[in-house]
Chains A and B, each alone.
Chain A
Amino acid sequence: MKAKIIVMPKAAVLDPQGNAVRDAMRHLGMPEVRSVRIGKYMEIDVDGKNGDLEARLHRLCRDLLSNPVIEDYELQKAGSGTQEEKKTKRKSH
């Protein structure tokens, strides 16, 4: 199974990197840019795809790959060889 994980800073968390990029984009001729948020994207290759694999992946997304105090994550699961793709978005409080 291949999984794609996107980790984004929460709305309440200041993203100075995103703001700097937004300002640069405006400066380079795109005044329409309203905001830029910068997160992380991870591709994970896992053996197998059955059982509690997904639940365990979610647990690690919460405990290691993201910090629920400042970030939300989205787990996109792609079954190998099929077109099936599933998205699970987790917002933590």
Chain B
Amino acid sequence: MIITLNSELLAVRSTMKFAVIQFPGSNCDQDCLAAVNGLEGLQAEYVWHKETSLDDFDAIVLPGGFAYGDYLRCGSIARFSPIMQAVISDARAGKLVLGTCNGFQILCEAGLLPGALVRNRSLRFVCEMVTTRVEVDDSPFTRGCPKGTLLRLPVAHGEGCFFAEGEALRELNDNRQVILRYADNRGRIVPEANPNGSIENIAGICNRERNVFGLMPHPDRASDARLGSADGAKIFRSMMQTIRAQRRVTTASEPVKQVA
């Protein structure tokens, strides 16, 4: 029993490692690294897109930017980078994967998330602070954010209009995969609060298994009050808490396995 408790404490205390993938053209890799490193107990490291393994990491972050110059379609070439094989296999194995902005586009192109991101309805690059509403509070990315919580996060994109056709959209809603929607500052989902024309004001979605999350806003650029909002840090903190809880389960169940 004492051994179990010690190993549990050890697992809880030890630092968690987040990989920040760098593609040629990523430009929010430093923001993501700083956001993760700003939280106690988390440590981020860059991983170049030519690498092939992410075994040493507890979670994966695909940062914003313009991977491969956004040529052809945003994320369409980056999804074939060598590291994406590891991202896909680790995601399938249940590891937490977060894609912000260009990272979200890459996750959709890779088929890890449904739907696609197309040109903003306004045809303009939007760069502003927006309000998003938490729609699902039991996801690994929104622990500690009750349903309806408003998160102030910046957006900066030209192709952030989320699109999914009938059946796919229905599934997203039925399976409660829509995690964030653009809202006004009173939490109402209205067209005026939608910066890019996304269908049903969708700002961020997860996969059916709930371990892959993509969003157009930048939690990395809102991880410190000095940046105008620290709401983005809640997402990274939630990931940390999720991994910690998973570790507790794993370490606590180990002695039982040995007995059996």
Residues of B within 8 A of A46 (CB): none
Given A69-B115, A69-B165, A64 and B72 contact (CB-CB distance below 8 Å):
yes
Residues of A within 8 A of B164 (CB): 69
The SS class assigned to the B binding surface is: loop
Residues of B within 8 A of A13 (CB): 118, 163
- What is the interface size of chain B, counting residues whose CB is below 8 A from a CB of the partner? 22
- Decide yes or no whether B76 CB sits under 8 A from chain A: yes
Question: Does A65 lie within 8 Å of B116, measured CB to CB?
Answer: no
Question: Does B163 lie within 8 Å of A67, measured CB to CB?
Answer: no
Question: Does B123 lie within 8 Å of A64, measured CB to CB?
Answer: no
CB distance from A44 to the nearest CB of B (A): 13
A70 to B108, CA, bound (A): 11
- What is the interface size of chain A, counting residues whose CB is below 8 A from a CB of the partner? 13
Question: Does B116 lie within 8 Å of A67, measured CB to CB?
Answer: yes
Within 8 A of A (CB), among B64-86: 72-73, 76-77, 80
Give residues in B with beta carbon < 8 Å to A: 72-73, 76-77, 80, 108-109, 114-116, 118-123, 161, 163-165, 168, 197
23 pairs from A and B in contact (CB 8 Å cutoff):
A9-B118, A10-B165, A12-B165, A13-B118, A13-B163, A14-B118, A14-B161, A14-B197, A16-B119, A16-B120, A16-B121, A16-B197, A17-B119, A20-B123, A64-B77, A67-B76, A67-B109, A67-B116, A69-B108, A69-B115, A69-B163, A69-B164, A70-B116
Q: Identify 12 new A-B residue pairs, CB closer than 8 A, beyond the known A64-B80, A69-B163, A69-B164.
A: A10-B165, A12-B165, A13-B163, A14-B197, A16-B122, A64-B72, A64-B76, A67-B109, A69-B114, A69-B168, A70-B116, A70-B163
